[in-house]
């Protein structure tokens, strides 16, 4: 004969389709969301499949099978978090949907308890309630942390793409390119530029690069350090450099020597191009 935990577990699993149907019916108040009815049949089928994972999770908590429970928590958190980030679903909508799941599952536990009230004590019901809330609390806690990590990675990745595409090397004629450095240069963006520009020049066949810094904003110390690193790498690749738009004091070290030997500094890009014979005829 099955114990009460095992009996409730089987009851929940046997009624999983009905539990999901009732959960779906509670989603009618969502608008412009993946949970809304007009999100489409494909999304609704996906939500049903994911809700089955919620049922599995809670049922394993009721069963008190820790190995199965921990595995279900991990699976739920990873799959649902990735799915919600992919669909750009607000986190409060996810938490509301999880809460609705808990409500429906508990209603089925109440039905089971009523059907077997002669053998189920109030203490047992309280114990099941604790297990239910433990499962939902744990999955919400782990979900929100993982969701934040995924969003943070996504934002950083997008920023890196923006930083790279906003710092292009523009070929103006065979072997000659212009690199206009524009906007605020954070330490991270400076690192990306230092790593990316030399390879970009090599890929585009640039032999002489005019670096214009007149549209950039950053501290003198950071500018000097990153400029030195980038130009040194460029010169190691055999690429000549000229720098424009830099204040005179930024082109000099504290002892008055040039920070980069044999690199010419110009007041403006127009002056740099003109001095090198690159003017409109």
Q: 125-170, pLDDT tens digit by residue?
A: 999 999 999 999 999 999 999 999 999 888 877 766 665 555 688 8
Average of per-residue pLDDT values in the chain: 85
Going by C-alpha positions, the residue among 198, 197, 207 that lies closest to residue 176 is: 207
Using alpha carbons only, give the angle 35, 36, 37 rounded to the nearest 5 degrees: 120
Least confident of 91-100, 200-209, 211-220: 211-220
Indicate the domain borders of the chain.
4-162, 170-275
Q: Round to whole Å and give the CA distance between 219 and 223.
A: 6
Of residues 115 and 269, the one with the higher pLDDT is 115
Tell me if 177 sits within 8 A of 171, measured CB to CB.
yes
What kind of fold does domain 170-275 have according to CATH?
Transcription Regulator spoIIAA (3.30.750)
170-201 pLDDT per residue, tens: 888 889 999 988 777 777 777 778 888 888 89
Read off the pLDDT of residues 24-51 as tens digits, 9 standing for 90 and up: 999 888 888 999 988 889 999 999 999 9
Mind listing the pLDDT tens digit for each residue in 87-120?
999 999 999 999 999 999 999 999 999 999 999 9
Q: How far apart are CA 61 and CA 109, in angstroms?
A: 13
Calculate mean pLDDT across residues 68-95: 94
Q: Is 240 or 158 the better-scoring residue by pLDDT?
A: 240
Rounded Cα gap, residues 251 and 268, in angstroms: 14
What confidence tier does 228 reach under pLDDT thresholds 50, 70, 90?
confident
CATH number of 4-162: 1.10.490.10
Asked if the domains 4-162 and 170-275 are classified in one and the same CATH topology, the answer is no
pLDDT band at 254 (very low <50, low <70, confident <90, very high): very low
Which of 271, 276, 164, 278 shows the shortest CA–CA distance to 212? 271
């Amino acid at each position: 004969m099955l114990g009460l935990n095992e009996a409730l577990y089987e009851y929940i699993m046997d009624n999983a389709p009905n539990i999901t149907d009732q959960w779906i019916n509670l989603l009618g108040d969502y608008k412009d969301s993946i949970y809304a009815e007009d999100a489409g049949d494909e999304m609704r089928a996906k939500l049903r499949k994911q809700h089955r994972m919620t049922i599995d999770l809670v049922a394993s908590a009721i069963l008190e099978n820790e190995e199965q429970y921990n595995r279900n928590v991990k699976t739920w958190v990873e799959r649902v978090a990735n799915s919600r980030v992919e669909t750009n679903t607000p986190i409060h909508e996810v938490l509301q949907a999880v809460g609705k799941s808990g409500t429906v599952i508990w209603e089925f536990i109440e039905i089971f308890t009523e059907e077997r009230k002669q053998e189920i004590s109030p203490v047992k019901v309280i114990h099941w309630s604790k297990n239910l809330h433990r499962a939902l609390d744990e999955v919400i806690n782990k979900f929100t942390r993982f969701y934040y990590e995924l969003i943070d990675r996504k934002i950083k990745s997008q920023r890196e793409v923006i930083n790279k595409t906003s710092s292009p090397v523009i070929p103006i004629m065979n072997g000659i390119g212009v690199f206009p450095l524009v906007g605020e240069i954070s330490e991270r963006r400076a690192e990306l530029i230092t790593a990316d520009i030399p390879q970009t020049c090599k890929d585009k066949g640039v032999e002489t690069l005019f670096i214009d810094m007149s549209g950039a904003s950053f501290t003198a110390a950071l500018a000097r350090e990153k400029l030195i690193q980038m130009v040194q790498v460029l010169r190691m690749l055999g690429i000549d450099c000229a720098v424009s738009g830099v204040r005179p004091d930024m082109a000099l070290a504290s002892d008055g020597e040039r920070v980069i030997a044999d690199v010419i500094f110009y007041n403006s890009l127009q002056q740099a191009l003109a001095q090198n014979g690159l003017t409109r005829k």
